Structure 1
Amino acid sequence: LLRGIFEYHIMRAVDQNTVAAASLNVDELSLYTAPPEKFRYVEPKAGQLEERVATLRKLAEPYTAWCQVTYEKIKPKVQGVFQFGNDAYAYVKNPPKDFYPRAGVIGFTGVLGLVLARGSRIKKLIYPTTLMTLSASLYYPEKAAAIAKSTGDSVYDLAVQSYAAAEKILNPQSKAEKVNKPEMSSDSETKQ
């Protein structure tokens, strides 16, 4: 009897599942169909803060570009100064023999030049510089000669350029006027 009741309930459950399966279409099952995609990206509207930041960026752009260009120009010079400082520190840390006495004498001549140059500002500039240069050239004659040669060449080039500029200012005749003057003189000769 129990077996009959059990079989009855199993048959009834199988019949209900077949009825339920028969009433569903394949299109209705979510496993076989994909929902229609109607997604579209919409750019969110910018808020006041974002608009102001964008405006500030546009206003600051020329200045930041100028700063970048200036930085690129100055960077090698700053690195050179930094390297010079490192080299000077290494030199002072391990100085050659008699460096400090020589530096003391050169510094003393600079102070002596300040004492001797009482009164005029020009004297205060010229006397210490001249005395320090002379005392440094006594201790380092090779370097003084090299500096004097390069300075002499620079001064000569500057003098030539100054002479050419002064001649141009004082004698403003252009080449066209010089060409016309001989023609006038030849015309005046033909008229006579």
Structure 2
Amino acid sequence: MFKVLQKSVGPASLSLLTFRVYTAPKQDSPLKNSMKVDKLSLYSVPEGQSKHMEEPRTQLEEGISHLVQWGLDSYENLQNAPPGFFPRLGIIGFAGVVGLLFTRGSKLKKLVYPPGFMGLVASIYYSQQAIMFIQVSGEKLHDWGLRGYIVIEDLWKENFQKPGNVKSSPGNK
């Protein structure tokens, strides 16, 4: 055991000692290759060669900056909340919990009831915003319905209404 300690403590204790090393130029060597400190490129800045160009933001950086800005705006809105905001928020959240209580046994109900109850209670408190939301959503649903109708109509015309492309029916043999 003592030998192990002696072999490990010896080099460790030598690492704690400090030594100063002084050097001097040889008397017979000429100083032809010496340079002044300000001539070294490490200490001087090249003029006119460097130009700072900022790289464009990536999509990830843009997304993170939007997320951070949304968080800061939300924090500021919560700090300066209008009177009665937090009780309303509590009641809307409670409506979501009540919606969860009614969802026993069905996964579809778990997806529909809590947001539906919360939306219903929120529409009571914020009726103008609910009306605007319903109008915009209705317009979007109408547009999606028209697009779907057009796609189905085009598919129907391509496959079933081409001349000469009449499908054989059981009566035509």
User: Structure 2 length as normaliser, TM-score?
Assistant: 0.57
4+ residue runs over 4 A deviation: none
Match among 144, 154, 157 for residue 168 of structure 1: 154
In structure 1, the residue corresponding to 2:105 is in which secondary structure?
Answer: coil
Alpha carbons of 1:115 and 1:170: their partners in 2 closer, same or farther (altered >3 Å)?
same
Name the counterpart of 2:75.
89
Structure 1 residue 174: Cα displacement: 9.5
Per-residue CA distance 1:145-190 (angstroms, 9 max, x = gap): 1111111111111111111111222332599x56x99xxxxxxxxx
Partner of residue 108, structure 1: 94
State the one-letter code of the partner of 2:97.
V
Q: How high is the sequence identity, in percent, across the aligned residues? A: 32
Q: How does 1:35-46 map to 2 (within 5 A)?
A: none
Q: Supply the distance in 2 between the matched residues of 1:94 and 1:102 (Cα, whole angstroms).
A: 15
Counterpart in the other structure of 1:73: 59
Which structure has the greater CA radius of gyration?
1
SS of equivalent to 1:95 = coil
Give the Cα–Cα distance (whole angstroms) in 2 for the partners of residues 73 and 95 of structure 1.
32
- 2:144 is paired with a residue whose SS is helix
| Structure 2: unaligned runs, 5 residues or longer | 1-54, 166-173
Q: Deviations over 1:78-122 (max 9, x none)?
A: 222211111110111121100111001000000000001111010
The correspondence of residues 11-30 of structure 1 with structure 2, limited to 5 A, is none
Say which SS state the counterpart of residue 58 (structure 2) adopts: helix
Structure 1 residue 74, shift from structure 2 partner: 3.1
RMSD of aligned residue pairs (Cα, Å): 2.5
Query: 1:131 aligns to what?
Result: 117
Give the TM-score normalised by the residue count of structure 1: 0.52
Q: Which has the higher helix share?
A: 1
Q: Residue 151 of structure 1 corresponds to which residue in structure 2? A: 137
| Partner SS, residue 158 of structure 2 | coil
